[in-house]
Structure formats: C-alpha cells, structure tokens
Amino acid sequence: MLFTESTTLLFVGDSITDCGRDRESGGTDLGAGYVAQVQALLGAHHPEAEVRYLNTGISGNRVTDLEARWNVDVLAHQPDWVSVMIGINDVWRQFDSPLVEQVSLQAYGEKLQGLVERTLPQVQGMIVMSPFFLETNVKEPMRELMDRYGAAARAIAVRNELRFVDVQAAFNAWLVHNHTSQLCADRVHPNAIGHNIIASAFLNAVGFEW
C-alpha cells in the first residue's frame, strides 16, 4: 500500500469530494462522503498507517476553479500525496448552463496536466480519479461526453505515471445489478452506498489490503 509511512493525504475536487465539509476547518473536516470513508477504512484495517487527511473540495468546481485556488488550497498544505477528482461540472455546465464560458475537452486536459506538472515536484505522488455520470446508456449525450473527459484524465495519469482511479468503471460494475435511482436522484450526487463505491475504488488503486 502507498501510505505506509507518516503521510499527509489531500483530496481536492468538486461537490463529490466536498460533501458538506466545514470549509472553515482548514481542510481537516472531511465531509460525509468518500473521503471520510477512505479515512475510516484505512484507520480500521491499517492502524499502523500514520495518515493525516485533508479535504479541500468545493461544490460546483471545475478544473478552472482548481487552477485558480491550487496554490492556497493544495500546495500551501504541503501534502505528501494529492488526489484530484474533477470534470463532472466541466461537462455538466455544457448541458445546464450553456451561456456560461465552457471548459472544452482540450482545455480540461491542458489545465489538468498543468496542475500535475505544478504539483509533482513538491509531493511524493498524485492520484487522478475519473469524473463519472450514473447513466448506463453510453450513448446518452452527457454520459458520452463524460467518458471522453474521463479518458482525458486517464491519459494524463498514464503520461505522468500516476495512480488512476476509474470511478466510472466502478459504478458501471454496480449498475449491472441495480438501478441508478438506488444511488441518487440526479445521476451525479451519490448516497452513502455510492460514496463507498468511490472509496473502495480509490483504496483498490492504492494497494489497500482488505
């Protein structure tokens, strides 16, 4: 497993990462989502791991928002590892807010790559998590576009030799047996089961021993 020594692990992203955290806590409040579940599972199964967890996700963020606040909300914390999941709103705004300035697929890839390049010299490593959309019809327009952004995130992880968490694939496997409505109402914001799916996918990617 990656986190065998004293480590600061910082998660950054949008509402899925934020998940109701107290933003006045300086990142120490982990919210009620997958970040808290990662902490609980690691703490239960690997008590020897000395991990300090931080959550600086902010609801509604796109990669452009991360770019603007990266120095303050990521690098200033001097983390050892950074996990980033971004892209859902970059896609969603193209469907629900067509009049706002959009983040194209090319811009998304370039900006995420830029964040990786800024960060890698200052940390032990990074983990890239794919954006996702809880829709089984891969030809549905938002799902189809989300998959393209997810592929861009994967390509960046491969190019920079980073751990990649295919969150969409983890949900796809679950949705073979159950309907999307059992996870959420809007196909984006999952319940506790959905967050456990994300947390499990993350832990599998970092070599967690169940």
Which residue of the set 14, 147, 189, 200 is catalytic?
189
Q: Give catalytic status of residue 104 as yes or no.
A: no
DSSP-derived secondary structure for 13-79: ESHHHHTT--GGGTT----SSHHHHHHHHHHHH-TT--EEEEE---TT--HHHHHHHHHHHTGGG--
Which residue of the set 96, 177, 179, 186 is catalytic?
186
Q: Give catalytic status of residue 147 as yes or no.
A: no
**Helix and strand tally (H, E) in the chain?**
8, 5
**Is there a contact between 34 and 192 (Cβ–Cβ < 8 Å)?**
no
Distance CA 121, CA 135 (A): 37
Q: Give catalytic status of residue 45 as yes or no.
A: no
Which residue of the set 6, 14, 15, 59 is catalytic?
15
Report, as residue numbers or ranges, the catalytic residues: 15, 186, 189
